[in-house]
Amino acid sequence: MTTRTPLIAAIAAASLSTAAFAQSGGMNDNPMVGGAEMFADRTIVENAVNSADHTTLVAAVQQADLVETLSGPGPFTVFAPTNAAFDMISDDSLSQLMMDEHKAQLAQILTCHVVAANAMSDAIAGMIADDGGTHPVETVGGCTLQAKMSGGTITLTDEQGRSADVTIADVKQSNGVIHVIDRVLLPAM
């Protein structure tokens, strides 16, 4: 056991050193998303444009004229579908949505991924627990998502019964938070 004591002391010292470095601002508290470092002092849009996993979402936000809104003061919680999530939609359907004549429908779909609050995952988990396992989430787009916990993962179910898992939670932004999800959520149609 005496040979482990120096090792434990070294690990503890390294942990304290890392914690002090992180508190001094030397380390980013946010995860990498799409190969890009996310910065808590940048807006949702300023960070999203750097994520290689969110190019389709960024293009859709631009097409729907939501850049200015999501660059505003918020606070916003954005459940951000990845490119792989958008790939589950047929090319024809996605191309149609991206047309000028369907801009309003695209905007509604996108705003069904936005909540007008800064909702970190621990707060969402608490609301789910307080509501007996399912918490309704009202979105800016007028949709109501149903949030549940599955193991340690937050799962959102849209008004069509389709579910998305939060794959990366709590990506802090200057105007809110992003939670990366693995499926595009849709309103009742």
Residue 30 is predicted with a pLDDT of 67
Position 171 scores a pLDDT of: 92
Over the stretch 140-166, which tens digit does the pLDDT of each residue have? 999 999 999 988 999 999 999 999 999
Confidence of residue 12 (pLDDT cuts 50, 70, 90): very low
Looking at the predicted structure, is the pLDDT value of residue 132 above 90?
yes
pLDDT of residue 156: 98
Total domain count for the chain?
Answer: 1
Q: Does 127 map to a domain?
A: yes
Q: Is residue 12 part of a domain?
A: no
pTM (2 d.p.):
0.82
The predicted structure's pLDDT at residue 189: 73
Query: For residue 92, which amino acid is it?
Result: D
Per the domain annotation, does 156 fall within a domain? Answer: yes
Q: What is the mean pLDDT of the chain?
A: 84
Percent of the chain topping pLDDT 90? 67
Whole-angstrom Cα distance, residue 97 to residue 93?
6
For residue 25, being part of any structural domain is answered with no
Query: What would the mean pLDDT of 20-29 be, rounded to a whole number?
Result: 39
% of the chain residues with pLDDT over 70 = 84
The answer to the question of residue 113 being in a domain is: yes
CATH of the domain at 123: 2.30.180.10
Least confident of 3-7, 59-63, 156-160, 171-175: 3-7
Collapsed DSSP state (helix, strand, coil) of residue 82: coil
CA 112 to chain centroid = 13
Bond from prior residue into 75 cis (ω within 30 degrees of 0) = yes
What confidence score (pLDDT) does residue 41 get?
87
Interatomic CA distance for residues 74 and 171, integer angstroms: 15
Residue 189: Cβ-neighbour burial (10 angstroms; 0-12, 13-18, 19+): exposed
Domain extent for 162 = 31-181
| Per-residue pLDDT, 101 | 96
- Does residue 98 form part of some domain? yes
